Structure 1
Amino acid sequence: MTQAKNDFLTVCLDCGDAKRLGKYSPELIGFRPLVVIDHHKGNEGFGDSVWIEPHRSSTAEMVYDLAVALGADISTRAAECLYTAINTDTGSFRYESTSSHTFAVAGQLVSRGVRPDLVASNLYDNYTLGRLRLMQEVLATLEMHERDRIAIIRVSQKMLERTFTTMEDTEYFINLPRAVSSVRVAVFLKEVEPDHISVSLRAKGQCDVSLVAAQFGGGGHRNASGFRIKGKNMEGVRDALLPLLRQGV
């Protein structure tokens, strides 16, 4: 027997808008009640019950507080998942949204059996040889603009094919140009398919890249945002972005 959609409680975590639920978005948002827990400031609330706190370091930090408030038992495995989510969403506790409460939550998770060294090793020390070669190709595309304050890198489908890698292997690559001392905004152009480009934006200081992403239908945080665009190649997207980024750096 097929159950009615209102027989399910659906919880949406860390999703700035319904479109980011992917191809099943129309079906998922049809389930009721729909609860949304998120920390993206562009989230306008698309659920029946909404908890959005943009000042939070991560949705995982919020979930931890909810679990404590409910008196839920947080297993070691659950603690590892929450710690990992906080670690990645704060850029290893480097982003400005990282607060004293963030560290307090991380400390509580460690007390529940999380080993920060193992989490860090699994996240950052597990490159394949193909990923390293892909990084070499991506860094070779580096462009510097606006007196080295804007850095742009890119990855194409041909690069992935040559190195036997996938788009998942590009995770954290954008942090490399962002780490350059003069850079205020780093841009990563990713060719999902011909004329379908995914763009990641990372900034430092007062640069608000979420405002730029919003102009292309995207969103995120002030220092970490993104969007997708169809109908343009990577050069076209770069040329459309640069005038907007120059206003902020």
Structure 2
Amino acid sequence: MHLSLINSARHIVLIVHENPDADSLGSACAFYSYLLRTHKKITLFCSSESINQNLAFLPWFDKLTNRFSDDADLLISFDCSSVERLGIKSSLNLINIDHHRSNNNFGTINLVNLNAISTTEVVYDFFVANDIKINGKMALSLYAGLMDDSKCFSAPICNAKTFLMAHELIVLGADHALCIEWMMRRRSLASVRLRGRLLKEMQLFSEGALALFEVSTHHLEQSGASLGECKRVLEEALELRTVRAALLRVEHPLGGVKISLRTDGTVDASHIMSHFGGGGHASRAGARIETDSQTLFDEMIRMITKELV
């Protein structure tokens, strides 16, 4: 990636996607640390008002804002597979850093590596290629994203480079135990309450191969859980012996629905979600549907069950 846009910018806005995960926010936090050395004005932006508090251990978490700056002259997005994921509309120059194969290269400059396990891997490679020193805060941020998108180094896509990167980041100051504690063990009371309801109301299709979860705005209000906290139950469903795909439909407080699909690789989640305006990875993908339609959702279930036969 050519550095001229960064070098010439005065105010850079780092954008993480709506309801950010550790990969998106970790990538942005690592870049925030790097840009501090350039003595430029930096804004860490997310359009979501509520951020998963399990990510509060990341450096610069307290710098997040949902107010977009009028005087910005460069945007850098992290882990956003489409321009809609930015949560804003802007004509400014944009550096698009990502690893989703559904990314359509919407940036002025696109640093998209489809072979990377996480966006933090793309950022790490950028730092290494440009001889940018990685300090402890950067190492922790990058490691959190790597651990998140690799499912704590259990995903089939993990390879020798994944573990080599993890090793290098720990040497540079990443705290593995801290990441485990915050990302894997800490849960809010609201999320535990919602998890119990979701597991109780789980529906099974295709002889138990597809698990379906539906969350209404009433469920969210009653439990106090956030949109991001709903997804954890999908991974748990895939641990069931018969389940090969888990689908979640969440009513969005602002209208429409958020769809999340997790699979064991049998079904291409990204391919399915692309039919509904979404995207992602082969085993993890999602879509935002502005108008909730039972017919549309039934078609989605039909497509998934067809692949499970």
Common fold, TM-score beyond 0.5?
yes
Show the counterpart of 1:169: 229
CA contact (8 A) 2:198 2:213 kept: yes
Matches within 5 A, 1:35-184: 35-184=95-244
Q: CA deviation at 1:246?
A: 1.6
Q: Distance in 1 between matches of 2:82 and 2:265?
A: 25
Q: CA deviation at 1:179?
A: 1.5
Question: Structure 1 stretches (4+) deviating beyond 4 angstroms?
Answer: none
Q: How many residues align?
A: 241
Name which of structure 1's ranges 160-169 and 210-219 shifts more when overlaid on structure 2.
160-169
Q: Distance in 2 between matches of 1:232 and 1:196?
A: 5
TM-score scaled to structure 2, two decimals? 0.73
| 1:244 equivalent in alignment to 2:303 | yes
Q: Distance in 1 between matches of 2:160 and 2:235?
A: 24
SS at match of 1:55: coil
Q: Distance in 1 between matches of 2:283 and 2:299?
A: 19
Q: Distance in 2 between matches of 1:194 and 1:52?
A: 30
| 1:13 equivalent in alignment to 2:84 | no
Higher relative contact order (CA 8 A, sep 6+): 2
Q: Distance in 2 between matches of 1:182 and 1:152?
A: 13
Q: Distance in 2 between matches of 1:237 and 1:141?
A: 21
* Of 267, 288, 295, the match for 1:207: 267
Q: Distance in 2 between matches of 1:171 and 1:40?
A: 19
CA contact (8 A) 2:136 2:172 kept: yes
CA contact (8 A) 1:178 1:186 kept: yes
Using a 3 Å threshold, how does the CA distance of structure 1 residues 206 and 134 change in structure 2: closer, same or farther? closer
Q: CA deviation at 1:247?
A: 2.1
SS at match of 2:80: coil
Q: Distance in 1 between matches of 2:296 and 2:168?
A: 43
Structure 2 unmatched runs, 5+? 1-10, 12-69
Q: CA deviation at 1:195?
A: 5.8
| 1:196 equivalent in alignment to 2:261 | no
CA contact (8 A) 1:67 1:74 kept: yes
Q: Distance in 1 between matches of 2:95 and 2:290?
A: 30
Q: Distance in 1 between matches of 2:161 and 2:241?
A: 28
CA contact (8 A) 1:57 1:99 kept: no
Q: Distance in 1 between matches of 2:278 and 2:242?
A: 26
Q: Distance in 1 between matches of 2:207 and 2:231?
A: 27
Structure 1 unmatched runs, 5+? none
CA contact (8 A) 2:231 2:248 kept: no
Q: Distance in 2 between matches of 1:50 and 1:169?
A: 30
Using a 3 Å threshold, how does the CA distance of structure 1 residues 241 and 195 change in structure 2: closer, same or farther? farther
Name which of structure 1's ranges 41-50 and 216-225 shifts more when overlaid on structure 2.
41-50
* Of 31, 35, 43, the match for 2:92: 31
Q: Distance in 2 between matches of 1:101 and 1:193?
A: 40
Q: Deviations over 1:5-36 (max 9, x none)?
A: 998332222111111111x1x22xx112x221
CA contact (8 A) 1:6 1:31 kept: no
Using a 3 Å threshold, how does the CA distance of structure 1 residues 41 and 127 change in structure 2: closer, same or farther? same
CA contact (8 A) 1:55 1:97 kept: no
Using a 3 Å threshold, how does the CA distance of structure 1 residues 6 and 159 change in structure 2: closer, same or farther? closer
CA contact (8 A) 1:18 1:46 kept: yes
Q: CA deviation at 1:67?
A: 0.6
* Of 265, 271, 282, the match for 1:222: 282
